[in-house]
Structure 1
Amino acid sequence: MDLGVKAAYHCRMKSMYILIAMVAGFLVPMQAGINVRLKQAVGDAAASALVSFAVGTVVLALWCVFTRPIVRDVLAARGPWWMWTGGLFGAFFVAATILLAEKVGAGAMLAWIIASQLMGGLILDHFGAFGFAVREISPIRVFGVGLLVLGAVIVQRF
């Protein structure tokens, strides 16, 4: 493949990934709002998170059934024990957004979540935890996260 064609392909792919990230990010407050409405209907944040996960599980199961032999893939999976805990964190995240969106609003909820995600990301990168490439914490990266924390404070207060 020609070097210019390869570079253009990688640029398009990177742009597609950024677009997917932006759509996913935009959907988080929508999901929280939808789940808050569900909580109001069923009366409990954990129950509405359960329903949300159940619907998501059904959709993902159908996707996997139609696109790949999931049972064989899951049965053949090998790795550390903690690789199975992602759903636990996802469940906490969804339940927390249901609680927070209703109490502090979508903007403040997301401001604090994003700031804390970047804090966690810096730490995970620094130590290369869970298979991330090692990328040491630098003063400028800490400054960037500090700006996000300041932004979260501003969004929360005003």
Structure 2
Amino acid sequence: MWILFLIFAFLAGLALPIQFSINAQLRTVVGSPLIAATISFIVGAITLFTVSLFKAGFSLNKGIVSAPWWVWTGGVLGAFYVLATIILIPRIGAGTTVALVLAGQIVASVLIDHFGLINVPIHLLSVPRILGAILVIIGVVLIQKF
């Protein structure tokens, strides 16, 4: 089962640069990064709502009322992420955009893991993890320069 999760994570990673590029083209078609991001989120929301209806039956549980305020910020961060990539791809290219996004994700992920932020289980920094993050950042520099 563990291998399926790893494959799923890899496929999600493959999907991101494709999504970035599609959204950048959508921006060209509609003429606005905000409208393109809005369309992307509407289509995504409709897709998730439809899957929720068929998979789990849509219902709001009582925990939603007592959830901390910050659990609602995921959508805001997602909107920023999508809008940023729509703006960046035509200006700095898909490779540099994805590389910098990946570098940012690595840095944030390592910090979240190390400090157990946002109720994530703690995975302390280690020399191999630090070296891995440095290698990703070196990769970003190489992709951007060449």
Q: What TM-score, normalized to structure 1?
A: 0.86
Equivalent position to 1:113, from 92, 101, 106: 101
Give the corresponding residue for 2:72. 84
Q: How does 1:1-158 map to 2 (within 5 A)?
A: 13-73=1-61, 76-77=63-64, 78-158=66-146
Deviation at 1:22, TM superposition (A): 1.2
**2:4 counterpart letter in structure 1:** M
> Mind listing any 5+ residue stretches in structure 1 that lack a counterpart?
1-12
Taking only the aligned residue pairs, the percentage that are identical comes to 35
User: Which protein is bigger by CA-based radius of gyration?
Assistant: 1
Aligned residues: 145
> Mind listing any 5+ residue stretches in structure 2 that lack a counterpart?
none
Give the corresponding residue for 1:9. none
1:11-68, Cα deviation, whole Å (9 max, x unpaired) = xx11111111111111111111111111001111111000000000011111111222
CA RMSD of aligned residues (A): 1.3
Structure 1 segments of 4 or more deviating over 6 A? none
Q: Distance in 2 between matches of 1:157 and 1:35?
A: 25
| Higher alpha-carbon deviation: 134-143 or 59-68 | 134-143
